[in-house]
Structure 1
Amino acid sequence: ILMLLLRVEIHDFALVEELVLEPADGFTVLTGETGAGKSILIDAFEFLSGTRSDRNMVRTACDEARVEALFQSEDNEELLIFRSLNASGRSYAKINGELVTIRSLRDKMKDVLAIHGQNDQQAIFDDSLHRELVDAYAGAEAELLLADYHALLQDLLAIDEDISRLGESPEQRAARQDFLSYQIEEIEAADLRPSEEEELLKRAKTLQALHSLAEQLNISLKALSAESDPGALNLIRHARKALQEAARYSSKCKQLAENLESIESEIDELVYELNRTSDKVSYDPEQVAELDRRLILIQRLKDKYGKSVEEILLFLEKARDEYTFLKDSERIYEEKIADKQLLLKKLDVCSSKLLQVRQKASKSLVTKIIAELHSLNMKDVRFDVSITDIPNRGSPPRDPHHVSFRFSANPGEPLKALVDIASGGEASRILLAIKTVLADVDNVSVLIFDEIDRGVAGETSQRIAEKLQAIGQHRQVLCVTHSAPIAAAAKKHLLISKLVDGKRSRTNVLELKDDNRVAEIARLLSGSTNESEARNLAHSLLASHGNI
């Protein structure tokens, strides 16, 4: 479903304090003096698409930069994209008001908005991009075959891992089996249970508390008991007898003797209760010793096989599986080798089918790209796609084919790689030709071109303008340009300017209409807005596209 960009709002982003952009539903152009901030708008769109952020994007002395865009589908469903970046460098994004990861944002935006900037003009020289473009043109058939090829590669990787586990020789497999047998027996002998260590540690803590309780009760009994010498009870009895003897001479001593006799009775009762309590405390030193031995065994196994009892048991399960796997190793080894050979044949078949699909797509793609390049004033151009097999160096490559665009701009010159012969202006036109052809097969709704006219002028600029206008019939197109013919062809013209307010600079956007638009296109033609000849030509350019 195609989406239409209705509105973009940018706040505190680089030089932009606050800016609202409402492009046309077809072709919109953005112009302005060098340094006005056109590249900042491209940066803002890239930021909204999920590219890496930089804290320098936040306007000086501001806390946060924000970019949000509202899209609407053909059936009137709205899509609201939001991304912000604070001064500390932390970024977050929302889709329709719901927080999402930056990766999810990228995945969503790749089918909505595509930016073709000056980096793309360099990327067109990269052969890996050529393969992606051919596959995009080939469509679902190439996509399915490439997915099948990658699935077979994954199966091959799994088989190679199995073969590696089996070892290269029977002796290696036997040695590995003996070692696994030792590990399995050692763990099985321990008879571990899940969560056992936690239970043992809790039990150890309880036993330690019982041990401490028994010791303190014993100390209390020794201090109070009549069986201890000197015990508190014996001392009180001695004191009471002395006071009873003294009571013969003093009534006060008689009262004190009676008080002490009461204390003696209370302590005697206390000793009785302490004995009962002590008898109820069950503490067995052998239990503690056995528990310590068990914990030491578990720790020894943890040092070898995992950080917890659960990890040890998982190791045991894997060791048993591998041991079973190795018990019949010779038969399994032969089966895996046979499976690998079969997979390699399937990969060859899949690679051949993919090659045929790519060659067929390339033939049609070349025809259409050449036609587009002719329409862009490259009459003598030759263009081709070279597809060759990538050699198998030990294991099959991630992609079986090397795809390269070949180009010749002049008659009699051989086809060569783009990077060897294409100029900047030629690269711009090749990129535009490819994007024009692919516009019919991809699902990207909004195309943004950043100075696609770089390195070209005159009639070629007019041809590029017509091409962008044609793409705008089926997609929404935004183009940053310094070209008057391109600016005149747009349905909507936005002027980007830089204003200095006190000591601060800010970027502003203004829709141009009527005489203001004529003046800006005249400036693009001659560098001045007032030259009558430039203004007349600007008026003619606008009139030729029905824009005045």
Structure 2
Amino acid sequence: MAPSMLTALSIRDVVLIEALDLEFGGGLDVLTGETGAGKSILLDALGLALGGRGDSGLVRHGRPQAVVTATFDAPATVFSLLEDNGLEVEPGEPLIIRRLVKADGGSRAFVNDQPASAGLLRELAGHLVEIHGQHDDRGLINPRGHRALLDIFGRVEPRDTAAAWATLREAEGALAAARAEIETAARDREWLEHAVGELTALAPEPGEEEALADRRRSMQRAEKVASELSAIDDHLEGSDGALSNLRQAARVLERIADAHPTLAEALAAVDRAVTEADLAEESLREARRELAYDERALEEDEARLFELRGMARKHRVQPDDLSALTADLSARLERLDAGEGGIARLEAAVASARAAYDKAADALSARRSEAAGRLDAAVAGELAPLKLDAARFRTAVQQLPRDGWSGSGKDRVEFEIATNPGAPFAPLTKIASGGELSRFILALKVALAEEGGAATMIFDEIDRGVGGAVASAIGDRLSRLATRTQLLVVTHSPQVAARGRTHLLIAKSHDGTVTRTGVRPLDEEERREEIARMLSGATVTDEARAQADRLLEVA
């Protein structure tokens, strides 16, 4: 069973389908029915769930709306995509896509009951289903995926090219940035030279502004107290100062202290006062020394401080950042002076990185060309059995313009065909016949084999216009392909129908007033009868039943 696939399809009121619930398994499911039974309606309904145009003409006559619900076991990449689009779906849960189209116009879409856009459904479809038919423009038809398919087929790994591309882009970015800086610096040279000159002359130091401010404050305080200290000196010192008078009083008291006890007490008090006055005098001398200032030094510090702060305002930085600014502007000027040498080194780095990228990308192109030859041969081996022996297939590997180069290399890859001898090669989309296109897709799918892609593939009337051995070859290849993925095939060929794991019959019924299209799975006997009908037409013969048995036995 495929790791991810379509598990169920529910249709309500789509054209002739009133109500239909189908379940699918892995492998090859075939859908058959008479012409006009409504096989295309089934695919249109699935296409609607996958983001197709919400045309009100799909709504069954007389009903308000059409509803299609498709359920998938989905790969992990789908859940990442849903998360990127803001939808919450737990990995491992069934993915349920529901699309409603109203009869009066307009449509709505839901993913696990959360509103979603039709654009998101189309993006999801690329991970879930490939539909190959006359009007398919996705899957192998779209050249945007051809390079990746070729790389997977050839086991070509562009890792080295991607790394070389990243290095080249980084080197080119550094060169562009250096050129831009030099260009800007060149315009600012005069200003840079002036700024570096005045900053260098100023020679600011980190922390200098705070030190100057502290020293200035100290000297300003000293200036304020200097006159008061002089007045104190006049009171304490000198022949008429308080200290001199206290000493004289002490000498007199010493001579008369014996005359009375209280005089001795007075002498002791005066001695203490002299001692305290001496201490005060010493403290004043210490304070005078510490508060001493040089008026000229104060002026110089103030001038330096104002200059630092003025320069900081000019350059819109803090004074302590002036030193770093000097170094930065000096470096810019040096880079400008040495710019040509620096540019030359960066140019050499770009040239080296470009050479490395060219080497890696050219080697990648060579591996792709070799893989393209093997893929062409593999597809060619599938064409004749599918009645495409006159056609030719090639994988065109062409170099992109330089602005298209990337980490994936320099190449544009597209699958091309020529359907008739002598006809020019053209893209797959130029094939006129839908059946022919489907067989080409089948051949390519078989050749690619391991490329993966969507887990569910739908082929719409791949066997149109062929029969016999060609139809058998188509059936054989579909059966082989179905061992790796889920296939749904709408077919008119009994050889293809006999290969199916399950067989669904699409039939139209009338009750006199209403026409309905229904689908039902066939059991073994019903399946034998349907294949016999496909072999013989309206009247089923015993010979047709015998031939049906042989086809089923071979399958």
Length-normalised TM-score, structure 2: 0.57
Matched, 1:114 2:116: no
The match for 2:547 is 540
CA distance in structure 1 between the aligned counterparts of 2:372 and 2:509, rounded to whole angstroms: 49
CA offset at residue 463 of structure 1? 0.9
Q: Is this contact kept in 2: 1:351–1:400, CA < 8 A?
A: yes
Root-mean-square deviation (Å):
4.5
Q: Is this contact kept in 2: 1:118–1:451, CA < 8 A?
A: no
Matched, 1:85 2:100: yes
Letter in 2 for 1:537: A
The match for 2:153 is 137
Are the structure 2 counterparts of residues 67 and 127 from structure 1 closer, same or farther at C-alpha, using a change threshold of 3 Å? closer
The match for 2:411 is 401
Matched, 1:48 2:49: yes
Structure with max Cα Rg: 2
The match for 1:510 is 520
Q: 2:68 aligns with which of 66, 69, 79?
A: 66
Q: Is this contact kept in 2: 1:27–1:469, CA < 8 A?
A: yes
Are the structure 2 counterparts of residues 524 and 354 from structure 1 closer, same or farther at C-alpha, using a change threshold of 3 Å? same
Q: Is this contact kept in 2: 1:166–1:333, CA < 8 A?
A: no
CA offset at residue 333 of structure 1? 6.2
Q: Is this contact kept in 2: 1:519–1:530, CA < 8 A?
A: no
CA offset at residue 30 of structure 1? 0.9
Letter in 2 for 1:543: R
CA offset at residue 39 of structure 1? 2.0
Q: Is this contact kept in 2: 1:8–1:70, CA < 8 A?
A: no
SS of structure 1 residue aligned to 2:397: strand
Q: 2:442 aligns with which of 432, 444, 462?
A: 432
CA distance in structure 1 between the aligned counterparts of 2:168 and 2:119, rounded to whole angstroms: 26
CA distance in structure 2 between the aligned counterparts of 1:381 and 1:99, rounded to whole angstroms: 46
Letter in 2 for 1:68: A
Letter in 1 for 2:9: V
Letter in 1 for 2:41: I
Are the structure 2 counterparts of residues 66 and 4 from structure 1 closer, same or farther at C-alpha, using a change threshold of 3 Å? closer
CA distance in structure 1 between the aligned counterparts of 2:163 and 2:73, rounded to whole angstroms: 35
Q: 2:534 aligns with which of 524, 530, 535?
A: 524
The match for 1:192 is none
Deviations 1:317-341 (A, max 9, x none): xxxxxxx999967568667655654
CA distance in structure 2 between the aligned counterparts of 1:147 and 1:501, rounded to whole angstroms: 65
Deviations 1:230-282 (A, max 9, x none): xxxxxxxxxxxxxxxxxxxxxxxxxxxxxxxxxxxxxxxxxxxxxxxxxxxxx
CA distance in structure 2 between the aligned counterparts of 1:327 and 1:506, rounded to whole angstroms: 86
Are the structure 2 counterparts of residues 363 and 497 from structure 1 closer, same or farther at C-alpha, using a change threshold of 3 Å? same
Q: Is this contact kept in 2: 1:496–1:508, CA < 8 A?
A: yes
Are the structure 2 counterparts of residues 479 and 125 from structure 1 closer, same or farther at C-alpha, using a change threshold of 3 Å? closer
SS of structure 2 residue aligned to 1:354: helix
Matches within 5 A, 1:407-426: 407=417, 416-417=425-426, 424=433, 425-426=435-436
Q: Is this contact kept in 1: 2:46–2:70, CA < 8 A?
A: no
Are the structure 2 counterparts of residues 15 and 164 from structure 1 closer, same or farther at C-alpha, using a change threshold of 3 Å? farther
Q: 1:362 aligns with which of 347, 355, 372?
A: 372
Q: 1:385 aligns with which of 390, 395, 407?
A: 395
Q: Is this contact kept in 2: 1:447–1:476, CA < 8 A?
A: yes
CA distance in structure 1 between the aligned counterparts of 2:481 and 2:109, rounded to whole angstroms: 33
CA distance in structure 1 between the aligned counterparts of 2:15 and 2:30, rounded to whole angstroms: 21
Q: 1:456 aligns with which of 463, 466, 473?
A: 466
Q: Is this contact kept in 1: 2:6–2:71, CA < 8 A?
A: yes
Deviations 1:187-232 (A, max 9, x none): xxxxxxxxxxxxxxxxxxxxxxxxxxxxxxxxxxxxxxxxxxxxxx
CA offset at residue 40 of structure 1? 2.5
CA distance in structure 1 between the aligned counterparts of 2:9 and 2:467, rounded to whole angstroms: 31
Are the structure 2 counterparts of residues 504 and 420 from structure 1 closer, same or farther at C-alpha, using a change threshold of 3 Å? closer
CA offset at residue 14 of structure 1? 4.2
CA offset at residue 31 of structure 1? 1.8
CA offset at residue 55 of structure 1? 4.8
SS of structure 2 residue aligned to 1:510: strand
Q: Is this contact kept in 2: 1:58–1:64, CA < 8 A?
A: yes
Letter in 2 for 1:389: Q
Q: Is this contact kept in 1: 2:404–2:410, CA < 8 A?
A: no
How many residues end up aligned between the 2 structures?
A: 393
Are the structure 2 counterparts of residues 458 and 159 from structure 1 closer, same or farther at C-alpha, using a change threshold of 3 Å? farther
Deviations 1:401-430 (A, max 9, x none): 23344556678x588446699663543322
CA distance in structure 1 between the aligned counterparts of 2:137 and 2:115, rounded to whole angstroms: 34
Are the structure 2 counterparts of residues 517 and 79 from structure 1 closer, same or farther at C-alpha, using a change threshold of 3 Å? same
The match for 1:30 is 31
Are the structure 2 counterparts of residues 420 and 85 from structure 1 closer, same or farther at C-alpha, using a change threshold of 3 Å? closer
Letter in 2 for 1:79: P
CA offset at residue 512 of structure 1? 2.8
CA distance in structure 2 between the aligned counterparts of 1:524 and 1:149, rounded to whole angstroms: 59
The match for 2:3 is 2
Structure 1's unaligned 5+ residue stretches are 180-323
SS of structure 1 residue aligned to 2:47: helix
Matched, 1:467 2:477: yes
Matches within 5 A, 1:311-350: 337=347, 340-350=350-360
Letter in 2 for 1:30: L
CA distance in structure 1 between the aligned counterparts of 2:504 and 2:109, rounded to whole angstroms: 29
